[in-house]
Amino acid sequence: MEQRLLGKTGFKIAPVVLGGNVFGWTIDEKRSFEILDAWVDAGFNAVDTADIYSAWVNGNKGGESETIIGHWLQTRPDKRDKILIFTKGGGDFGDNKRKGLAAGYIRLAVEASLKRLNIEAIDLYQSHFPDESVSDEETLGAYKDLMKEGKIKAIGASNFNAEQLAHALKISEEKGLPAYQTLQPEYNLYDRDSYDGALRELCIKKGLGVITYFSLASGFLSGKYHSKADLDKSPRGKGIEKYLTERGMHIIAALEKTAQKHNAKPAEVALAWLIAREGVTAPIASATNLQQLQSLQKAATLKLNASDIMLLDKASAPAREEATTMA
């Protein structure tokens, strides 16, 4: 399996990161264990989660995904050296208490994640969302202490825009504080505006590792959805309606044409486009069964040529005018 440097963290990762958001949400612990076992056995070596996963599910409190990963590691201690654990903190659990990037809260959040994950150190700890109520100096100072204590090894940012990330990096340099070494943005063939441009250029310039989320646009880029009539195919259907535009259909057509050429699936091509994209280290993608995991494995080895990428770039160019949502 190809290995890529994750920015300046010192970590090398396979070109796809497993998304842990489905653990304790759409798949139970037993199935999660099967996916994690197969993931490592296939040569992949990173999983991304967050402390709030999956607080949005009725009956859940948050922490379910980390807890499942922790149980998996507890029963398979030999796997710890084979997988990097990425998690995030600062997201809102929904109780108006547990959220934000204040120093005191970060310490509590890290300790809670360590306990749930059943590990001594988190490989990559990410600020889940920017917190304008707290200074970067305070947040990064807390990370400095936690890194010194050996509880986290590297830090990253998630959902930061170019201005927010640039300011945080500036504070790190001026104050001698740890710097964010990674970014986790929403980015895929359809959703390109928020990362392409100044943010992507900053990440390339500063050498940040970039792991993208919603890499398949909530499943739209799988090619299963061509009209509103297809939205009932998945629990995520309602969130996919916004993609049913003229531009969305151009993207699907380009994916299907490229997939046919490579004897692949549209989702595999969509991930391969991200893998080939300058400024992206690895897309995050989840799997709820072994067939989907095998598809991720194929995506990791699928090589697109220049004409493939040109076709996909043209179809997904953000400059294309959005049309009215299709019937």
Cβ-based neighbours of 326, under 8 Å, separated by 6 or more: 227, 228, 244, 245, 246, 248, 249
pLDDT value for 239: 80
How crowded is residue 118: how many other Cβ atoms within 10 Å of its Cβ?
17
Please report which residue ranges of 16-63 form alpha helices under DSSP H: 29-41
Query: What gap in Å lies between CA 56 and CA 237, rounded to an integer?
Result: 17
> Measuring CA to CA, how many Å separate 181 from each of 10, 132, 139, 207?
10, 20, 15, 8
Taking only the tens of pLDDT, the chain with its 327 residues reads: 899 999 999 999 999 999 999 999 999 999 999 999 999 999 999 999 999 999 999 999 999 999 999 999 999 999 999 999 999 999 999 988 899 999 999 999 999 999 999 999 999 999 999 999 999 999 999 999 999 999 999 999 999 999 999 999 999 999 999 999 999 999 999 999 999 999 999 999 999 999 999 999 999 999 988 888 777 766 666 789 999 999 999 999 999 999 999 999 999 999 999 999 999 999 999 999 999 999 999 999 999 999 999 999 999 997 544 444 444
- Its pTM stands at 0.95
- Determine what percent of the chain falls in helix, strand and coil, rounding each to the nearest 5: 45, 15, 40
Q: What is the pLDDT of residue 274?
A: 98
- Tell me how far apart the alpha carbons of residues 38 and 293 are, in angstroms, rounded to a whole number: 8
Distance in angstroms (rounded) separating the CA atoms of residues 114 and 153: 12
Predicted local confidence at residue 319, as pLDDT: 57
Q: What is the DSSP secondary structure assignment for residue 213, as one 8-state letter?
A: B
